[in-house]
Structure 1
Amino acid sequence: MTDHPIKSPRKLIEVALPLDAINEACAREKSIRHGHPSTLHLWWARRPLAAARAVIFAQLVNDPGYQQGGGFKYGKNKKEAAIERKRLFKIIEDLVLWENTTNEEVLERARAEIRRSWREVCELNKDHPQAAELFNPDKLPALHDPFAGGGAIPLEAQRLGLEAYASDLNPVAVLINKAMIEIPPKFAGRTPVSLLQSRQGAKKKELDLDREWPGATGLAEDVRYYGAWMREEAQKRIGHLYPLVEITAELAKERPDLKPLVGQKLTVIAWIWARTVKSPNPAFSHVDVPLASSFILSSKDGKVSYVQPMVAGESYRFTVKIGTPPPDAANGTKLAKANFGCLLSGAPINTKYIRAEACGGRMGSRLMAIAADGPKGRVYLPPTDAMENLARSANPEWKPDLRVTTPCHDIDRLPMYGMFTWGDAFTSRQLVTLTTFSDLLENTRERICKDAIEIGIAGDTDKGLDAGGAGPRAYAEAVTVYLAFALDKMADLGNSLVRWEPIAQCPRQMFGKQAIPMIWDFAEANSLGDSSGSWKIFIDGLSKALAKVFEQTQSWFSGCASQADAQTQTISSGKFISSDPPYYDNIGYADLSDFFYIWLRRSLRTVYPGLLATIAVPKVEELVAASHRHGGKEGAEGFFLNGMTLAMKSLSDQAHPEAPITIYYAFKQSETSADTGTVSPGWATFLGAVNEAGLQLTGTWPLRTENSSRMIGQGTNSLASSVVLVCRKRPADAPSISRREFIRELNGVLPEALDEMTKGSGDERSPVAPVDLSQAIIGPGMAVFSKYAAVLEADGSPMSVRTALQLINRFLAEDDFDSDTQFCLHWFEQHGWTESVFGEADVLARSKSTSVDAMKEAGVLQSGSGKVRLLKWAEYATDWDPRTDTRTPVWEALHQLIRALKQGGESASGALLAALGGKAEAVRQLAYRLYTLCERLGQAEDARAYNELITSWTGIESAAAAAPKPAEQNLPGFE
C-alpha cells in the first residue's frame, strides 16, 4: 500500500461546512417529537439526524478546491472552487431541514453527489493494484457505526444510499438499530396484514387494495391495529384494576364545583401517591407520615388545585381544594433538600432516617389525589379507601429480580431507598399491567402469523427474523418488536419514579435525563386510559412515528445491526466509518438500559434468543470510565484509554482508506477548567486514544447538537456543542519532532486559525461562537500534534496529549490590546465588577503604562473615596459619540456596543460599529476573550452578554454597512 499510495482528494468536511445552517437545523430538531426516530424508543445522547446527515455527506463528497500531493493533482482553481463549494453547501442546507428528512428529491440530489465523488475517486485510482477490490465505480462501500447507540448515523447513511452497518455491545441499542435499518426495508411497501385479513372474502372492488403503502406505512398500520387488539384483551384481563371514578353527591357537598358532574363516571388519568415512613417522633411512631415534595396538582391560571392534608389527633387524611393554595403547599412536607417534616408533630425527618426506613422495608405509600378526565379538562378528586385498596389488591405473578447495579452515579439512589431490584421500582398494579401486556405479545405474534398465513403472505412460514426470514413468522415478529418498544415506553411512564407535572397536568417519564432521580410523590398513570401514560397513546404515537420516519424507505435499502465489541469487531473492514463513541464517564448506558432490557428480554427472547441470552446488559466490557468497575478513577481512566485505543486502532486499520473517519465527541461543562481551558480526563484520554491508534486529525467542527433547554442543561451554563473529529490514518513513516519545534509550529498555525474561527470566511465558514471556541481551537492544534509519530520532551519522552492541550489552550488567554484595556482585563479577572482599593489599582495601572485618572476620564471606571471599580455596560453614557471621544479604549467600545445592542438592537449597535472604524476587530476579539474569562469565573450572566454580541456580529456588521456615513449619523440616542 505504501508503494502504491491511494489518490484521495480532500473531502468537503476537511475544508469547509455551512455550520450556521447545520447548527440551526440541529437546534430545531431537538424540539421535534412527532415523527422523530427518538419516539420509537428512548436512547440517551442521540445525535440529531441533521448532524449525522450533513457529516456523512461532507465526509464522502470531494472538496472542489485545487490540491496536489501524493503524486496527483485534483480540483478546480480558487474562484471555480468557491462557486462549486457554494453549490454543495446548498445541498447540505436543504438536506438538514427537518421537513426534508424524507424528501426523496433532496435525498436523491445528495446521493447523486456522493456517487459522483466516488466515481471520480475510482477514476483516479483505476490503475491501483487493488482497484478491483477497493474501487468499484458501480458500488459504494458501506458505512459502519461501531458505537451505534440510538441509530441516527446508520439510519442517515442508509437514507443517503449507503449500505448501513450498525453494531453495539448493548443489546438494547442493537434492537433499536434493527428496528431502524433492518426491519423497515425488509417489509417496505407491504399492504397491512390486518387490512387483508379483516376483509378476507370480500369482493375485490370493496377492498382498499389499490392503495399504495409506501415504506413502512403498512407495517405501521399493523402496529396500530394489533396494538389496539392487545388493549382490548388487556381490558378483559385487568380492566377491574382501572375503574372509573364516580362523582357522588356527598363529594359535591365539599366541592361545589363538582355539582354539575354528580352521577357521572370519569376516566382516571392518574393516581397521585406520596411515599411514607413511620414518624420519628415516639408519640406518633406507629403512624405512616407522608414525604411529599409538593401538594400542587395544577398551577394553571384559573384552575389551580392542590392537596390539603387534614390532621385529626393521631391520624390524617387528604382532601383536594381549588383556588389559591397556602404559601407552603408548593413544598409539601419538605423542609430542605431531602429532609421532611412529620405532618403530625413537625419533627424533622432527615435523609439518614428515611434511607434506613426504606432499606428496612418500612417505606410505604399513600394515595393523595386522583386526576380524572372531565368534560372540560382535568378534575382533581380526593382519594378514597376503595381506590387505594383496589390498587393494593393487585398481585403480580412475575417481578423482575435483576439487581440494580451499584454503585453507579446515575442510578445509585434506588438501592439507597430500598429499591434493590428493578422490580422494586414498580407498584404491584404496574407490574400486573406490564406483565399482562408482555404476555399478550406472544399471543399477538401467533395471531399475526396466523392471519398472514391465511391471506397467503409469501415466504417461509417457519423462518423468523433472526434467521433472515421475510415470511409470515418473520413479519409477525417484526410487528411485535415495535409493540415491545411500546411496552418499554409504558414502563418508562408506568413506574413509581414518575413525577406529576402541575403545569402540563400529566405524568412525566422517569428518564427525563440520563439518570434516575428519587421521586417522593409519584403519579401512577392509567395504562388502559386515553391520556399520557396509556397504552393507547404509546401505540398511536409509535405507529405514526414509524409511518413518518420510514415513509420513503425502499426495499433496496440495505442495513444490518449486530452485537459486537468495538475493540474486537471486524465489521468495519473496507467500510466508511462515522461514529459517536461513549464519552468517558458521562453516561452509564449499560447500567441504565437494564431498566428496558428486563422487559425486552421477557417479550422478545424467542425472537432474538442469541441477542437476549444474557440475564443483564453486558457491563464489564463497556467502554466507559466507570470507577466502581475498575477500582477507582485511575483504573477507570486506564481501562477507557486502553479500550478506546484498541477500538480506534481497529477502525484505523479496517476503514476504507479513501475517506476520513468522523468521530463525535460531546463535552460536558466540567471539561472547561479554570486553569487549562478545555483539558479534562475524558477529553484528554479520548484524544490520547485517537492519537495512540495512529489517527491524525484533518479537521474539527463544533456542532451545536444539544438543546440548551434540555433538562440536564436547564439553569446551567453547559456547553452546547459536539465536536466532530475528522481523522485519517497517520503515515507509517511519520517523523518525530521536539517540543520546541512543536511550539514553533503552533505559533505559526494557531493565530491564523483563531483569526479565521472568530472572523469566519465568507460563505464557507461562519464565525465560531465564544461558547465553542475552547473546543474549536483544539482542532488545528491537535492536527499539528497528531501528524507526528511523537512530540519529544527534553528528556526524550513523548509529550502527553494533556500537555499538548495545555499548550494549545494558552492561545485563548493571550491578548494584545491598548494599555487601558489591558488594565481593565486584569482588574476584571481579579475583582470583576466589585470595588477594591485605589492603591492596588494605581500599581496595576502604572504597570500597564496608564493611570486611574485617565481611565476615569475615559469613562470605563469609577474612582473615589480610595476605591476603584469598573463600570458595567448598563452604566455607560447613552450619548457617547466615538467621533468626538479623544480616548476610546477597546474595553469602552466593547461595552458601549453591548449597551447599544441591549437597548437598541442590531441597528443601534451597527450604527455605533460603523463609527468605530478600525476598532471593530479588536472589539470582537476582546468579546471572545471576556466570554472565556467569565465562563471560567462562573459569571454566567456576563458571559451571556458577550456571547450575544458575537452571535449577533454578522447582523451588526450588516447594519454597520447599511448605516449612514459617520458625518450623517446622529449617534447619541440613535434616533
Structure 2
Amino acid sequence: MSDKSFIEVQFPVSKISKESYKERKANLGQTLTGLGKWWGRKPLILVRATILGLLLPATNDPVKDRNIFLKLLTMDDEGLYKRKVKSISTKDIYNFLEDKEKHTYFELDAKRSPRYVKEITKDQKDELQKRYFETLSYDEKIALCCRPEEVYNAISKKEWEEINAHLGTNAYSLQSLMDELGQKKFGHTPIVGDCFAGGGSIPFEAARIGCEAYASDLNPVACLLNWANLNILSKSDEEIEKLRELQQKVYDEVDKQIQEWGIETNEDGHRAVSYLYCTETECPECGYTVPLSPNWIIGKGTKTIAILKDNGNKGFNIEVKQNASSEEIKVCESTSTIKNGKMICQNCRSETSMSVIRKDRVDTEGNKIYGLRQWNKSEFKNRKDDILRERLYCIRYLRRIIDEKGKVKEERYYSTPNDRDNDRELKVIRLLEERFDMYQQKGYIPSAKIESGEKTDEPIRSRGWSYWHQLFNARQLLLHGLICESINNLACSQKEYAIGLLGMNKCADWNSKLGVWHSGAGVENSQNTFLNQALNPLYNYGTRGLLNLGNSWKFNISSCNFNPGIKSIKTIDARTLESKSDLWITDPPYADAVNYHELSEFFLSWDKKIIEDIFKEWYADSKRVLAVKGKGENFNQSMIEVYSNLAKNMPDNGMQVVMFTHQDVKVWAELALVLWASGLQVTSAWNIATETESGGLKNGGNYVKGTVLLVLRKQNSEYTAYLDELYPAIEDEVKYQIDSMKDLDDKEDPNFTDADYLLAAYAASLKVLTSYKNIEDIDVQYELSKSDANSPIVTIINEAVKIAFDYLTPSGFDTFTWKTLLPEERFYIKGLDTEKDGVYSLNSYQELGRGFGVKEYSDMMASSKANHARLKTASEFAMKHTNESSKFGQSVLRNVLIALYKSSKEEDATKGKAWLRNEIEGYWNERSKIIEILDYIKTLEHIDNMEHWEEDVKSARILVELVRHDGV
C-alpha cells in the first residue's frame, strides 16, 4: 500500500458531478440554504466525497478502492437502490417484462391498462422494481433517488464487513470510520479546517461525517451561518421544535401589534399582502411629474395592469385594473417610462438620460460628480423637493369568504390606494418617527453608514442613500424593527437569538427597496434583494406585509441530528490564524467577482448589535480593509501569506484541497505559482461540473464553469531544475496520467471524458513543476506581478495540453491525420466522442474549447442547455456558416458536413461527392482525410443516444465508398 490517498490516484468525477448537480437542483431544499443567503456554497456531496477521498488510502487494488469509495457514498448499485424513493410506473414495468412474466404478474383492465394481479406479494413487486431499476443509466437512477445525505444507516452490516476487510478497520458507521482512518493517518480524529468558511459547506459536512471541524472567516455573517449550521442543524427534532415555537411567538407578537395599529388592514377588514411603489421625477422638457417603471404589468396571471392617466395638474394618476383585455395588456407591456437609463415622458414623449435628471457632471479634472443630495442619518423617506421621490401606487389585499358549503376561501385582489390607504401610509411614518432613534440605538434597525465600494457605490450614486437603513422604506423598517424588538423580548438562549438573527436576515433580503416585483403568472410577488450579486436600486419595487413575510421569518429548519463533536468557529484573518488542521479544504475568493465583504454588510447592518451581545469573542464588522479580494500582485501576495500559514499549521503528512472555478490557463498558472510559493506541491486535480440550467453558453462559450479540486501536499524537495529539463518529464507524466485513468475507467459505466483527460494534463504539468524547490528560469514574484498571459507557466501548461491532445487520438483516426486537423475540427470530432459516451455537460465542451484554443463555438452547438449540450448534426448545420472566412467554415470537416447534408436532403450521395470535389481545394491530397472523417461519422450508428445522426450516418456510409473509389 502506498502513502497516497484515494483522491491522489482516482476520483469518480462523473458520478460526483451528477450528484452535485442533483443537490444544486434541490434549490431551497438544500440542507444549508434554508438558514440564510451566502454566495457560491459548494454542494455537500462534493465536500463529503473530497474528505473521504483524502482519508481513504490508495491500495494495490484500485478497482476495489473505487468500489469501496462508491459504497461509502451510496453511489454503488446497492446504495442507489436504497436511495430510491420514487416508484417506477406499473406501465413501465409491464412493458419491460417478457410475455410469460406479464401474464404471471399482471392483468389488463377494461381499458387494456395493466394492473398487478391480486395474488402478487410486496416482495415480488419490490423485485420487479429492482430488476427494472438495474437496467437504467446512472442519470435515470438518481432521478428516482433521494440525495446521499438523506439516507441513514444505508450500509448493511455485511457491506461494513467488506469495507473493514479492505481497509483494515472495525467501523460500522461513517463517523467511526472517519475516526479510525484519522487515527491511522494522524493519531487522532481527523481535523478538517476551512479558513474561508463562507456559507459553511466544508465545516458542516466534515462535522456531520465524524471529523473535528474548524471554521473561520474574516466575515462575522459567514461565522454566524457556520455557527448555526453546526449548533442548530445538528440538533434533534425536539430541540428544533422549540426554536420553531420561538419563531411563532415572535410572529404572533408582531402580528398582534400590527393589527392593533391597523396599518395593514383596510376599512373592509381585508389584510394587505403586498404594496407596490414606484419612483417619480419631473420631466425637464414639459414639467410633468412622471412615475417610472419599465412597464406597467402588475400581474400576468390575474391580468392586472396599471394605467397612467393625466391628472390635469402636470402629473399622472395611476389606475389599477384587474382582468384587463389582451389589448390593454399589450399596451401596458410596451408602455415604458424608464428604458435603457432614460426617462420617457408620457406627456411630451421626450427621452432624458437619468444622469441628466440626477444632475451628474464631470469636474475640470475629469472626475464624475454625482448630483443627488446625500441623505443624512436621521432620514428614512425622501423630501418633497428631492429629484427622485417614491409613491405608493398599488396594494394587494387578501379577503376571506365563506362559500355556500361553509368553507373559508381566500381571495387576493389589487386596488388603487384610496385616501384611507394613504392615511395608513402616513400613520406608518408617524409610528416609525416615534421609535426611530430608539430602534437605531438598540440595534433594531440599521444605523451604519454605507462605505464606498464597487457594489455599495450604486445606491449612493443613483439614489443618494448613504446609510443602510435607507435601502428600506418606512413600512419595511417599522415591520422589521418590531420583529427585532420581539426577538430581544422573547429570546433567552444563544440558539434562539441566532435563529432570530437568521430570520431577520431573511426578512431583510426578501423585503427591501431592492426587491424587484415579479409579475409572472403564479408568482405576482416581490423577490429577494440578492437575485444577483449586486445592490441595485429599482424604479419599481414591492413591499411585503407581515402575512407575506411569514415564510421568510418562519423559515424551515431541518434537523440533521448528529453530534458535531469538537468544533471551533472564529472570526479571524486567515493570515494570522494559529489553529492546526490535518486537512485544509478551502474555496478561496480566487479570480472571484463576488464582493463578499461589501454585500454581507447589508446583513451585518441588521446583525451587529446582537452579534456583539451573544458572540462576545467575535468582532461585528466586515473588516473590509483586510478582505482578500480582487486580482493582481497584492491579491496574489495575500494568497501566498494565507496558504503559507495553512501549510505551517498542518502536519508533514497533512493535505490540502483548494477549490476554484475552472477558467483559463492563466488562472491555473497564477494559482500554481501562489501555491508553489506557499510551500505546497500539486499531487492531482479533478474537475467537477456543478452546472444548472440557469447557465447557458455565453461570451464564446466561457460561461458555465466547473469546480476544480486541486490536491496538495507540503513541498519537501531541495532540488532545483532548469525549464528545458521539465518538458520530457511533463510528457511522460501526461501520458502516464492518461494511461492510468484509462486503465481505471469502468468500460461499462465510463467515469472519465476527454475533458477529464485534458484536465489531467494541466495537473501533470503542475505536478512536475511544483515537485522542485526552484526552477532556475522562473522568478515567482516577478511572474505574479505581471498582468499579461505570457508566463512560462502558461507555456508549460499549454504544452502539456498539446501532448494530451496528440495522445488522445479518436478511435479510427490515424495519428498523423489527427495532428493535421485544425483545432476547430478536432474540437468538433472530440465533441462527438464526448456525446457518444453519453456526456451532455456544457462544461465538457468548454474544457475542449479551452484545450484546443477554440474560443468561439456557439454556432456549432445544437443545444447549450446545461446537461443537455450537444453539437449540430450535418443536417442541422445545413448550409449555415459556409461562406464565412472562419477557419471552421472553410475547413475540410465543414465541407464534409455540407456534403452529408446535400446527400441526405437530395437522397443522392453523388451530390455530396460533387460538392467535395468542387469545393475542397486540393481534393485529391485531402481524400484520405475526408475518408477518415466519414469513417468516423459511420461509428455514430446504432448508438441509442445518437439517433439524431441516423440519416446523416446513412449518407456517410454511401458517400465514403464513393470517395474511396473515386478516380480521375
Q: Given the two structures, how large is their TM-score scaled by the length of structure 2?
A: 0.69
1:881 CA drift (Å):
12
Quick check: 2:941–2:950 contact (8 Å CA) kept in 1?
Answer: no
| Match status 1:401 vs 2:447 | yes
Asked whether 1:663 is paired with 2:663, we answer no
Q: 1:719 corresponds to which residue? A: 704
Equivalent residue letter for 2:218: L
- Alpha-carbon displacement from aligned partner over 1:877-912 (angstroms, at most 9, x marks no partner): 7787999999644555677888999xx943465898
1:223–1:539 Cα contact (<8 Å) kept: no
**Secondary structure of residue in 1 paired with 2:395:** strand
Match 1:540 to one of 554, 571, 587: 554
Q: For residue 62 of structure 1, report the CA deviation from its aligned partner.
A: 1.1
Shift of 1:602: 2.8
Tell me, in whole angstroms, the C-alpha distance in 1 between the residues paired with 2:489 and 2:778: 72
Structure 1 residues 610-659: Cα deviation after superposition (integer angstroms, max 9, x where no partner)? 424x4x3111111112xxxxxxxxxx522211111111112222223334
In structure 2, what residue type is equivalent to 1:10? K
| Contact preservation (8 Å) 1:579, 1:663 | yes
Shift of 1:405: 2.9
Which residue of the other structure, out of 442, 456, 462, is the alignment partner of 2:488? 442
2:348 matched residue in structure 1: 345
Aligned equivalents of 1:174, 1:746: Cα separation in 2:
42
Report Cα offsets for 1:229-283 as digits up to 9, x if no partner: 2122223434466645659xxxxxxxxxxxxxxxx643322111111122222x3
**What are the residue-to-residue correspondences of 1:207-606 with 2, within 5 Å?**
215=236, 217-239=237-259, 243=263, 265-281=269-285, 283-284=286-287, 287-300=288-301, 303-313=302-312, 314-321=314-321, 322-324=324-326, 325-334=328-337, 336-356=339-359, 358-359=372-373, 361-373=386-398, 375=409, 378-393=412-427, 394=429, 395-396=432-433, 397=436, 398=440, 400-409=446-455, 412-445=458-491, 449=492, 476-503=493-520, 504-526=523-545, 528-529=546-547, 531=548, 534=549, 536-542=550-556, 546=557, 548=558, 550-554=559-563, 557-571=565-579, 573-606=580-613
Pick closer, same or farther for the CA change 1:823–1:412 going to 2, 3 Å: closer
Judge conservation of contact 2:295–2:335 (CA < 8 Å) in 1.
Answer: yes
Partner residue, 1:169: 218
How does 1:907-922 map onto structure 2 within 5 Å? 907=947, 909=949
Cα offset, 1:359, TM superposition: 4.1
Counterpart for residue 806 of structure 1 = 795
Give the letter for the 2:495 counterpart: A
> Is 1:699 the counterpart of 2:684 in the alignment?
yes
Instruction: Go from structure 1 to structure 2 and tell me whether the alpha carbon gap of 1:650 and 1:236 turns closer, same or farther (over 3 Å shift).
Output: same
* 1:830-881 deviations in Å (ceiling 9; x for gaps): 998545599x999998xxxxxx8xx89x74458xxxxxxxx88998777879
1:160 to 1:27, Cα distance in 2 relative to 1, 3 A: same
TM-score of the aligned structures, taking structure 1 as reference length: 0.69
Aligned partner (choices 6, 14, 28) of residue 20 of structure 1? 14
Offset, 1:495? 0.8
Instruction: Answer whether contact 1:143 1:163 (CA < 8 A) is retained.
Output: yes
Which amino acid is the alignment partner of residue 567 of structure 1? R
Give the CA deviation at 1:351: 2.8
Kindly state the Cα deviation for residue 9 of structure 1 after the two structures are TM-superposed: 2.1
Query: Closer, same or farther in 2 for the Cα pair 1:824/1:708, shift >3 Å?
Result: closer
Secondary structure of the 2:317 match is strand
CA distance 1:861–1:811, shift in 2 (3 Å): farther
Q: CA RMSD in A?
A: 4.6
**1:17 and 1:764 in contact (8 A); partners too:** no
Decide whether the 8 Å contact of 2:289 with 2:316 is kept in 1: no
Name the CA distance, whole Å, in 2 between partners of 1:383 and 1:842.
61
- Counterpart contact for 2:293–2:338, Cα < 8 Å: no
The letter for the 2-side match of 1:525 is R
How many Å separate the matches in 1 of 2:737 and 2:320?
63
Deviation at 1:388, TM superposition (A): 3.6
Cα pair 1:9 1:121 within 8 Å, conserved: no
Per-residue CA distance 1:561-605 (angstroms, 9 max, x = gap):
11121111111x253221211223421111111111111113343
Instruction: State the Cα distance separating 1:730 from its structure 2 match.
Output: 1.3
Q: 3-state SS of the aligned residue for 2:413?
A: strand
Instruction: Report if aligned partners of 2:456, 2:535 keep a CA contact under 8 Å in 1.
Output: yes
Consecutive unaligned residues of structure 1, counting only runs of 5 or more, are 1-6, 67-75, 123-130, 189-214, 248-263, 450-475, 626-635, 673-677, 846-851, 863-870, 921-965, 967-975
Quote the Cα distance in structure 1 between the aligned partners of 2:471 and 2:289.
20
With over 3 angstroms needed to count, the CA separation of the structure-2 counterparts of 1:842 and 1:652, relative to structure 1, is closer
Question: Whole-Å Cα distance in 1 between the matches of residues 358 and 742 of structure 2?
Answer: 52
Aligned to 1:45: 40
CA apart distance, 1:306: 1.6
Q: Specify the code of the residue in structure 1 equivalent to 2:283.
A: S
Per the TM alignment, residue 89 of structure 1 is displaced from its structure 2 partner at its CA by 6.7
Report SS of the residue matched to 1:372.
strand
Alignment of 1:679-758 (within 5 A): 679-680=666-667, 683-709=668-694, 718-733=703-718, 735-750=719-734, 753=737
- After superposing the two structures, state which structure 1 stretch, 403-412 or 310-319, moved more: 403-412
Q: How far apart are residue 16 of structure 1 and its match?
A: 1.6
SS at match of 2:628: coil
Letter in 1 for 2:219: N
Residues 750/818 of structure 1: CA separation in 2 closer, same or farther (3 Å cut): closer
Q: CA deviation at 1:480?
A: 1.8
Task: Give the count of matched residue pairs.
Answer: 761
CA contact (8 A) 2:903 2:910 kept: no
Structure 1 residues 794 and 427: CA distance shift in structure 2, 3 A: closer
For 1:30, what is the secondary structure of its paired residue? Answer: helix
Counterpart residue type for residue 946 of structure 2: E
Superposed CA deviations along residues 316-365 of structure 1, whole A, max 9, x for unmatched, are: 11112323244352355245422221233222131312444644643111
Q: Point out the more displaced range, 355-364 or 697-706.
A: 355-364
- SS of the residue aligned with 2:622? coil
Q: 1:879, 1:242 → 2: CA distance? A: 80
Distance 1:905 1:416, change over 3 A: same
Separation in structure 1 between the aligned mates of residue 55 and residue 163 of structure 2, nearest angstrom: 6
- Matched residue, 1:952: none
Of stretches 905-914 and 648-657 in structure 1, the one that deviates more from structure 2 is 905-914
User: 1-side partners of 2:156 and 2:639: how far apart?
Assistant: 36
- TM-superposed CA distance for 1:60, in Å, is 0.9
Deviations 1:446-468 (A, max 9, x none): xxx4xxxxxxxxxxxxxxxxxxx
1:218 Cα shift?
Answer: 2.4
Give 1:196's aligned residue: none
Deviation track 1:503-532 (CA, whole Å, cap 9, x = no partner) reads: 222211001122222322100111x21x3x
**Which residue is equivalent to 2:192?**
143
Name the SS for the 1:747 alignment partner.
Answer: helix
> Out of 946, 955, 960, which is 1:906 matched to?
946
